[in-house]
Structure 1
């Protein structure tokens, strides 16, 4: 039988990560006959339980509020597409950029930032909660699907990108919520004091590009503001004006879609130009030079950052703190608080595997309860809360 041949796009930049030069996995494995090490990581993420649950975890709106709003899953797919495009244009490893993008939200609890805020409040006496740390714990411990190890046994480069895509994290290691990262780093050094790969940086900025654009799209669809309200907002305003000029006879829906598409393109082009400038300015010629650089190198230009600041303030005032969104946040926090407190007081009502995990000290119980709740989808959290607190529909025998 002929041997398998791994075919994948080969990075051509001297500062690109390459799977053949990977620092490997914590638990050594034979290489795949059909995939690069980074593509294998990507596939493990796509097949894991936490990734499937993203389909009913919210971005801004609770997942059941409408079929057309973004969820964590659709957001992660959009981020991965943008990250892969950036990596391709910069001559980087596209599989690694895509992998980190797909993994970046695995640790988000139900109900978005409202859920994270509530779990942090409930866990303050037992180490706190941080969704970035939770993502890392998901891929290194909480996913149990292989007989030889816990977690997904991902490559060093993927794990580094998951926890460091926003930059060095040594300044955070004294935060109790980051204890898991400090502990892991003592067993396998992830160079927490340096920047992550350019592929990870592509994933991080792709996240910014994706959420700013889809929040504009979702906000208009939800009726929280109109395209006319955006006319004076930098970046999106000029794009809307140009779109109307080019397509004077199309309806508002098509104007919105075309404008968002164009705005993504404008932001991607800006990142590519600024990143190319920074790579030259700092004379980056290797992966090590990326990690020891004085700043992140995949960046927006100063002008784009200023425009994005205005857009984000608009979205904060008109969307993220709209009374309809505030009501949902309030309900979400009450649901999680009531479940957390009940599970802490009566761990015997937890599902069997989680009741076992909660045995022992109070801190162990709290972390198990937190992990159970953090893994819930929006819909499951609502249904679980109803079963626990509404007797008429709670008889699940």
Structure 2
């Protein structure tokens, strides 16, 4: 029998003896369980099983052809949602090990956190959200009215990621979804409107929507996956931005977080330039952020005195940067927003992406026979939500092919 004494750290098999799962971590033996109870696995803990289920899902495979910043057809070496998720998982596991958190749970959340993203990144999400708000249900068409199986609002990728793992993946004979643990699902839903939280609470009282109504915090593993997401995209978007030619190395000198590392690299390697200088500066920047999170979060956990997951949930968010690092990371985010995400070339591409998603939505809504047939036994959905689910599940290149097939237009060069 596993040792479940909360007063004593649990040694994690396969890790050095000094690394232990802390009482404030999520222990798989104490999980709040799955929506559909299942017997335990003989060789894997519950969070490992969640990680494996995510990796084997269709939605996870589709991430390889979904935009991070640069559209999928723009180059083979730019990050996609899949490579981004892998980088988040790597950073999350590294930090989790140092803080005594459950690595498998952090990895499962990290790999699943973007499963609900549309094609074309945030541009696709914004377009789909606008369609659902601008084209309200038709009261004269019963098939267009929301059902109890769907949210009544617009589109948000965190909620859609939860819908993917709870409803849209259909891999098991007994139920929809891949039946993940509460702790994994809690981490996937990192943001949620009050309206959507109320809908979730009505369907699952005391479930993953409840903390948004009560003002509680998620587990430390969920907090860590969210923070690792930010660290990963800030770093790799610099890399992709310079690789694309939209950012210049000289521009980054205005950023204290990057410039401090660039100067240190040049002090150690005075002749270094180009890609090697960029990569080494980013690597050191990542390292500094990771160590800052470990030190600042460890201190916050110690000061809060939490000794259980329930105490973590009743506390303010405990994982984060120190104040100076938070200021520098925020400056980096502002820089990327101004100089990369709103670069005229990126804006031109995202404008076309919004057009593709908007026109697909309108076509499918007017011609639902173009939609794939519902699977046998699938939950009833309104037409508008069926359209949204179908588009959200598309990869960039499938959306472009469908748009060209249905409109005869080719908005992007191959």
| TM-score, normalisation: structure 2 | 0.86
Number of the residue aligned with 1:117: 126
- 40 and 96 in structure 1: CA distance in 2 versus 1, 3 angstrom threshold: same
What is the CA–CA distance in structure 2 between the aligned matches of 1:322 and 1:73, rounded to whole Å? 24
- 240 and 292 in structure 1: CA distance in 2 versus 1, 3 angstrom threshold: same
Q: CA deviation at 1:339?
A: 0.8
Q: Deviations over 1:221-262 (max 9, x none)?
A: 111121111112110111111112212223310111111111
Structure 2 counterpart of 1:182, from 182, 192, 201: 201
- Give runs of aligned pairs for residues 99-178 of structure 1, distance below 5 A: 99-124=108-133, 125=136, 127-164=153-190, 169=192, 172-174=193-195
What is the CA–CA distance in structure 1 between the aligned matches of 2:14 and 2:28, rounded to whole Å? 10
- Give the SS at the match of 1:236: helix
Say whether residues 1:85 and 2:94 are aligned partners.
yes
Number of the residue aligned with 2:262: 240
> RMSD across aligned C-alpha pairs, in angstroms?
2.2
- Give runs of aligned pairs for residues 210-249 of structure 1, distance below 5 A: 210-249=232-271
Q: Deviations over 1:289-338 (max 9, x none)?
A: 11100x21111111111111221121111100001100111100000111
Q: Deviations over 1:353-382 (max 9, x none)?
A: 389979x8xx70000000000000001100
What is the CA–CA distance in structure 2 between the aligned matches of 1:135 and 1:118, rounded to whole Å? 17
What is the CA–CA distance in structure 1 between the aligned matches of 2:259 and 2:409, rounded to whole Å? 52
Greater shift, 124-133 or 41-50, is seen at 124-133
- Give runs of aligned pairs for residues 214-293 of structure 1, distance below 5 A: 214-293=236-315
Greater shift, 297-306 or 276-285, is seen at 276-285
What is the CA–CA distance in structure 1 between the aligned matches of 2:20 and 2:202, rounded to whole Å? 33
Name stretches of at least 5 consecutive residues in structure 1 with no aligned partner: 1-5, 393-397
What is the CA–CA distance in structure 2 between the aligned matches of 1:355 and 1:62, rounded to whole Å? 34
What is the CA–CA distance in structure 1 between the aligned matches of 2:25 and 2:111, rounded to whole Å? 19
Tell me if structure 2 keeps the 8 A contact 1:133–1:178: no
What is the CA–CA distance in structure 1 between the aligned matches of 2:61 and 2:208, rounded to whole Å? 30
What is the CA–CA distance in structure 2 between the aligned matches of 1:180 and 1:133, rounded to whole Å? 11
Greater per-residue helix proportion: 1
Q: CA deviation at 1:180?
A: 4.8
Number of the residue aligned with 2:356: 335
Q: CA deviation at 1:71?
A: 0.4
Q: Deviations over 1:156-191 (max 9, x none)?
A: 111112114x6xx5xx222xx556533433374664
Say whether residues 1:68 and 2:86 are aligned partners.
no
Q: Deviations over 1:170-214 (max 9, x none)?
A: xx222xx55653343337466423211111111010001000000
What is the CA–CA distance in structure 2 between the aligned matches of 1:321 and 1:356, rounded to whole Å? 44
Q: CA deviation at 1:123?
A: 0.5
What is the CA–CA distance in structure 2 between the aligned matches of 1:80 and 1:240, rounded to whole Å? 26
Q: CA deviation at 1:115?
A: 0.4
What is the CA–CA distance in structure 2 between the aligned matches of 1:152 and 1:191, rounded to whole Å? 21
Number of the residue aligned with 1:384: 402
What is the CA–CA distance in structure 1 between the aligned matches of 2:382 and 2:202, rounded to whole Å? 16
Tell me if structure 2 keeps the 8 A contact 1:114–1:329: yes
What is the CA–CA distance in structure 2 between the aligned matches of 1:354 and 1:128, rounded to whole Å? 24
| TM-score, normalisation: structure 1 | 0.90
Number of the residue aligned with 2:330: 309
What is the CA–CA distance in structure 1 between the aligned matches of 2:358 and 2:254, rounded to whole Å? 40
Number of the residue aligned with 1:366: 384
Count of aligned pairs: 376
Tell me if structure 1 keeps the 8 A contact 2:201–2:209: no
Number of the residue aligned with 2:319: 298
Tell me if structure 1 keeps the 8 A contact 2:81–2:114: yes
